Structure 1
Amino acid sequence: MVTYQYRCAGCGDVDVRRPMGAATSRLACPRCGDDARRVYTSPRTRLVPRGLVAALDAAGTSAENPRVVTREPAPQAPRHAHPLHARLPRP
């Protein structure tokens, strides 16, 4: 099911759920019964988490303009998610 947006002169914006491709350009407003016209909007991309948007933007940027590495990175000790992992025996 897809959410389509319609605008009624009396009620304002109205969201209607219909099967994909089953939306009409006009319908009777579910609140008052007046004529409501379909509003064409972008997909609801605002529901995507900001962290995911930032990661996708960074991936797209690095694909077009990769960072130039001038030296090898310094080795780092492995970081563990849980503090008790530091107590585990090492080989």
Structure 2
Amino acid sequence: MVPYQYRCTGCGDVDVRRPMGAATPRTACPRCGAEARRVYTSPGTRLAAPGLVAALDTAGASADRPQVVTRDPAPRTPRPAHPLHARLPRH
């Protein structure tokens, strides 16, 4: 169910929950029963947590714009061939 906003002349703005795509241009006001006109508003995108929105945006972007690694992110010092060589003094 999706909330749709309607404007009643007596009650002001009211929300009516209906299945997606089932909104009508006019409906009866749930408070007073008078005719209410549909008001077109932006979708409620602030209902999800900001961290979840960022994770979904990153996942969606990686589908068509994957991040490609072009270099090693952290340069490493070469490891000695034998573990005991790491204890030898360095000059």
TM-score w.r.t. length of structure 1:
0.57
Indicate how the Cα distance of structure 1 residues 53 and 70 shifts in structure 2: closer, same or farther if over 3 A, else same: same
Indicate how the Cα distance of structure 1 residues 2 and 54 shifts in structure 2: closer, same or farther if over 3 A, else same: closer
Which residue matches 1:28?
28
SS at match of 2:51: helix
Q: Which has the larger radius of gyration?
A: 2
Indicate how the Cα distance of structure 1 residues 48 and 35 shifts in structure 2: closer, same or farther if over 3 A, else same: same
What residue identity is the alignment partner of 2:32?
C
Indicate how the Cα distance of structure 1 residues 70 and 20 shifts in structure 2: closer, same or farther if over 3 A, else same: closer
In the alignment, structure 2 segments of 5+ residues that lack a partner are 77-91
Mapping 1:50-61, distance limit 5 Å: 50-56=50-56, 60=61
Deviation for aligned residue 1:73: 1.6
Deviation for aligned residue 1:58: 5.5
Which residue matches 2:12?
12
Which residue matches 2:37?
37
SS at match of 1:17: strand
Q: Percent identity?
A: 68
In the alignment, structure 1 segments of 5+ residues that lack a partner are 76-91
Which residue matches 2:74?
73
Indicate how the Cα distance of structure 1 residues 72 and 24 shifts in structure 2: closer, same or farther if over 3 A, else same: closer
